[in-house]
Amino acid sequence: MLTPSAAGEPRISVTEAEAEVLAALWRKGPLSFASLIDEVKLAQPWADATIKTLLNRLMHKGAVKSVKEDGRQRYHPLIDRSTYISGEVDALAQRLFKGDRAALAAFLTTED
């Protein structure tokens, strides 16, 4: 699902589980399927089929692409970590502070 970010560009909605797959790609760069499975399993004890499902969802959403390199499929993230984090902050600010990032920042910097 694409939703607009604060800057107006489309934001790809990514679940927490899908973000684990993206995090593996951000950490290690383009990976083969086997290497991606191994990298995700360092953080989550998921079955291979679960990781494959998450990868397929990310590809369908346009967040990951598959490229044949040296005879092997390698998976590349199409959104960078900074863009993802910015989108998550925008979504949180929208949900809790009517889109006001400054209000979110002020809340985070105040002491209880």
Q: What is the pLDDT of residues 37-88, one digit of tens each?
A: 999 999 999 999 999 999 999 999 999 999 999 899 999 999 999 999 999 9
Beta-bridge partners for 65: 76
Q: Is the dihedral of CA 92, 96, 102, 108 positive or negative?
A: negative
Between the two ends of the chain, the Cα-to-Cα distance in Å is 36
Residue-level pLDDT at 1: 46
Q: What is the pTM of this model?
A: 0.83
**68 contacts 22 by C-beta, under 8 angstroms:** no
**103 contacts 97 by C-beta, under 8 angstroms:** yes
Residue-level pLDDT at 2: 45
**7 contacts 1 by C-beta, under 8 angstroms:** no
Domains and CATH numbers, the chain: 2-109 (1.10.10.10)
